[in-house]
């Protein structure tokens, strides 16, 4: 039993339907969790783990 | 022995610490690191390599989110390995207790200390948050995976 922050305030998770999912691709690993109450989304949290970066390649050409 | 044309790796690292200044500005009066922020943007926004500074246009809005985003934890100074200089925020960006109902897919890292000048744009799959937390975890801080790399 745990309390979940929802659009209706703190609620016991036993009263809610929990849905989870994830996406894993070259750019990110993303996990999300949702809690629903009588067909209404009352909580959604997301954790995105970035895999890609931005690269300044050939800096010499930019400056020289 | 032979000479080899190259940009010095130490110089790349020093670019990340503003050691060199080929222009006339900015003037730096302190030896402390600047403060960087991460702001979230709607999937409908148009941030890209041409973005020069933080803008409120296209930024997310909603309960729990403050315009401008949140400060980036910067406890690890830039470094280099091989011929690549690199830097990564030293902690995840955590937007706690927010509701962002319009899809967003981008974070802009910008330098609040230097007139909100843009640093980098990073995209991810579109998300919404409902009375929850959005966590953006950075890639490992190595010369091949760091968030910012000068190769």
Which among A42, A46, A53 has the least Cβ separation from residue B129?
A: A46
**β-bridge pairing A40-50 and A54-56:** unpaired
Q: Which residues of A25-41 are buried (b: 16+ CB within 10 A; e: fewer)?
A: eeebebebbbbebeeeb
Give the model confidence (pLDDT) of B78-129 as tens digits. 999 999 999 999 999 999 999 999 999 999 999 998 889 999 999 999 999 9
- Mean pLDDT computed over B63-75: 96
Can you tell me the distance from the alpha carbon of A26 to that of B140, in angstroms, rounded to the nearest whole number? Answer: 15
Locate tokens 């022995």: which residue?
A: B1
Beta strands in chain B (DSSP E): 36-42, 70-71, 79-81, 84-87, 93-111, 117-137, 148-150
The pLDDT score that the predictor gives to residue B9 is: 80
Work out the mean pLDDT of chain B and round it to a whole number: 90
Q: Which of A19, A21, A42, A54 should we substitute to test contact with B (largest number of B Cβ atoms within 10 Å)?
A: A54
- Comparing A10-14, B16-20, B143-147, which segment has the lowest mean pLDDT? B16-20
Label residue A56 by pLDDT band (50, 70, 90): confident
The pLDDT score that the predictor gives to residue B25 is: 67
Task: Supply the DSSP symbol for B72.
Answer: P
Q: Which residues contact B120 (CB under 8 A, 6 or more apart)?
A: A54, B108, B109, B147, B148
Label residue A61 by pLDDT band (50, 70, 90): very low
- Comparing B10-14, B58-62, B91-95, B141-145, which segment has the lowest mean pLDDT? B10-14
Can you tell me the distance from the alpha carbon of B96 to that of A20, in angstroms, rounded to the nearest whole number? Answer: 19
Q: How many CA atoms lie within 13 A of A4 on its CB side?
A: 25
Which among B22, B136, B148 has the least Cβ separation from residue A53?
A: B148
Give the model confidence (pLDDT) of A23-50 as tens digits. 999 999 999 999 999 999 999 999 999 9
Residue of chain B whose alpha carbon sits nearest to that of A27: B124
The pLDDT score that the predictor gives to residue A64 is: 42
The pLDDT score that the predictor gives to residue B114 is: 86
Q: Which of B16, B25, B44 is nearest to B109 (CA)?
A: B16
Can you give the pTM of this predicted structure?
A: 0.90
The highest-confidence range among A47-51, A56-60, B9-13, B47-51, by mean pLDDT, is: A47-51
Burial class (CB in 10 A: 0-12, 13-18, 19+), A4: buried
Q: Which residues contact A48 (CB under 8 A, 6 or more apart)?
A: A28, A29, A30, B124, B125, B127, B134, B135, B136, B137
Which among A44, A49, A53 has the least Cβ separation from residue B137?
A: A49
Q: Using the beta-carbon criterion (under 8 Å), do B148 and A59 form an inter-chain contact?
A: no
The pLDDT score that the predictor gives to residue A58 is: 57
Say if A22 is an interface residue toward chain B (CB within 8 Å).
Answer: no
Q: Which of B51, B43, B68 is nearest to B126 (CA)?
A: B43
Can you tell me the distance from the alpha carbon of B41 to that of B102, in angstroms, rounded to the nearest whole number? Answer: 10
The pLDDT score that the predictor gives to residue B88 is: 93
| pLDDT of A63 higher than 70 | no
Label residue A60 by pLDDT band (50, 70, 90): very low
- ipTM, two decimals, is 0.89
């Amino acid at each position: 039993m745990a309390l979940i922050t929802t659009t209706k305030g703190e609620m016991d998770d036993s009263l809610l339907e929990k849905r989870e999912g994830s996406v894993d691709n070259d750019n990110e690993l993303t996990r999300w969790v949702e809690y629903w109450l009588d067909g209404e989304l009352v909580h959604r949290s997301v954790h995105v783990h970035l895999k890609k970066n931005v690269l300044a390649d050939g800096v010499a050409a930019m400056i020289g | 022995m032979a000479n080899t044309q190259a940009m010095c790796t130490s110089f790349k690292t020093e670019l990340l610490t503003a050691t060199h200044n080929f222009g006339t500005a900015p003037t730096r009066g302190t030896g402390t690191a600047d403060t960087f922020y991460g702001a979230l943007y709607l999937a409908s926004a148009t941030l890209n390599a041409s973005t020069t500074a933080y803008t409120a246009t296209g930024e997310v809005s909603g309960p729990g989110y403050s315009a401008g985003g949140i400060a980036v934890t910067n406890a690890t100074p830039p470094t280099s390995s091989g011929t690549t200089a690199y830097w990564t925020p030293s902690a995840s960006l955590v937007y706690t207790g927010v509701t962002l109902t319009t899809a967003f897919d981008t974070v802009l890292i910008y330098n609040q200390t230097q007139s909100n000048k843009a640093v980098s744009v990073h995209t991810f799959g579109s998300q919404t948050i409902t009375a929850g937390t959005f966590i953006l975890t950075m890639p490992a801080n190595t010369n091949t995976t760091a968030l910012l790399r000068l190769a």
